């Protein structure tokens, strides 16, 4: 009896050991978090705060939530962990080098100072890569892509792409990439949580030509949390509570996405 017990025990041990090996072997899901702007690039500037500060705080909160919930099974990689300037090309390179499974770029929206009623506009939009269907979507992509002009010799780095010329954006028409389905799925989950959970107005899932999404070789989204030019939205975005709500909304969407894809991800490896 004792012998039988020890055989059983040994069997259990080896099963536990092989499970541990399998866990050690399994490649973690790599979530790349990209807080927009940073350093000399403030992004959109409001009356109380600015985009680079808000999005860094939200990304850090989100990273902590993911780390606490998933431990070693999900690895978070930041394109910038602090207030430094990182070029769009380098952000994509960091994500590609890390072998990212998903890329989330976090931003805050605004409209031009000359736009009438800019203090009333508000709401969240989650973008995937594609050709814009409206001038306002193109405007958002132009503003985010214009960051490249802060780099010396950007024209060479970005292969002659002119962020201010709508003709340049034709390259994104051909970008029906293999990641579109997953990108759209995450975008709609995030849009649902930002509007439902974080209480942002619904300005829809949209498509536009963002260089940083185009250069990353994984499913990707670009989140515009809300409009900093709207005083109430800015107060929300500037507050710890508001930033936490946004981070929690993105976390809930990630949790949903990861739960749906976990099995197929581990089967595919
Ligand atoms: Zn931005």
For residue 107, report the distance from its CA to the centre of ligand 1, in Å: 4
**Other CB atoms within 10 Å distance of the CB of residue 151:** 17
Q: CB neighbours of 124 closer than 8 A, spacing ≥ 6?
A: 191, 194, 195, 198, 200, 201, 202, 203, 223, 224, 225, 226
**Strand 124-129 versus strand 220-227 pairing type:** antiparallel
For residue 43, report the distance from its CA to the centre of ligand 1, in Å: 5
- Checking if the pLDDT of 38 tops 70, the result is yes
For residue 176, report the distance from its CA to the centre of ligand 1, in Å: 23
3-state class (DSSP) for residue 116 = coil
φ and ψ at residue 173, rounded to 5 degrees: -70, -30
Q: What is the pTM of this model?
A: 0.88
Exposure string of 179-206, with b = 16+ CB inside 10 Å and e = fewer, is beebbbbbbbbbbbbbbebbebeebebb
- Provide the phi-psi class of 181: left if phi over 0, else alpha when psi is between -120 and 50, else beta: alpha
- What distance in Å separates the CA atoms of residue 48 and residue 240, rounded to the nearest whole number? 13
Tens of pLDDT, residue by residue over 164-221, are: 999 898 888 766 677 999 999 999 999 999 999 999 999 999 999 999 999 999 999 9
Tens of pLDDT, residue by residue over 3-31, are: 545 544 454 545 554 444 445 557 899 99
Domains (range + CATH), the chain: 28-267 (3.40.630.40)
Angle subtended at Cα 111 by Cα 156 and Cα 223, rounded to the nearest 5 degrees: 70
- Contact between 219 and 140 (Cβ < 8 Å): no
- What distance in Å separates the CA atoms of residue 186 and residue 128, rounded to the nearest whole number? 9
Name the token pair of 126.
Answer: 């989650």
Using a CB cutoff of 5 Å, list residues around ligand 1, an ion.
36, 43, 107, 144
For residue 102, report the distance from its CA to the centre of ligand 1, in Å: 19
Mean pLDDT of the region 108-116:
91
pLDDT of residue 244: 98
């Amino acid at each position: 009896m004792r012998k039988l017990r020890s055989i059983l025990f040994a069997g259990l041990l080896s099963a536990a050991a092989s499970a541990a090996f399998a866990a050690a072997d399994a490649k973690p899901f790599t979530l790349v978090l990209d807080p927009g702007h940073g350093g000399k690039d403030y992004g959109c500037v409001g009356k109380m705060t600015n985009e680079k500060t808000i999005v860094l705080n939200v990304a850090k909160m989100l990273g902590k939530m993911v780390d606490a919930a998933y431990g070693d099974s999900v690895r978070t990689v930041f394109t910038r962990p602090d207030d430094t300037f990182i070029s769009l090309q380098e952000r994509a390179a960091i994500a590609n080098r890390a072998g990212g499974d998903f890329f989330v770029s976090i931003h805050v929206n605004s409209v031009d100072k000359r736009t009438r009623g800019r203090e009333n506009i508000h709401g969240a939009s989650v973008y995937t890569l594609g050709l814009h269907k409206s001038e306002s979507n193109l405007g958002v992509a132009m503003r985010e892509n214009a960051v490249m002009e802060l780099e010396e010799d950007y024209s060479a780095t970005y292969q002659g792409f002119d962020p201010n010329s709508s003709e340049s954006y034709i390259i994104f028409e051909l970008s029906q990439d293999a990641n579109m389905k997953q990108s759209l799925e995450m975008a709609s989950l995030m849009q649902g949580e930002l509007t439902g959970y974080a209480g942002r107005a619904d300005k829809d899932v949209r498509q536009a030509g963002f260089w940083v999404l185009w250069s990353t070789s994984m499913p990707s989204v670009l989140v515009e949390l809300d409009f900093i030019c709207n005083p109430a939205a800015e107060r929300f975005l500037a507050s710890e509570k508001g930033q936490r709500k946004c981070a929690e909304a993105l976390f809930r969407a990630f949790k949903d996405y990861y739960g749906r894809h976990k099995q197929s991800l581990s089967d595919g490896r």
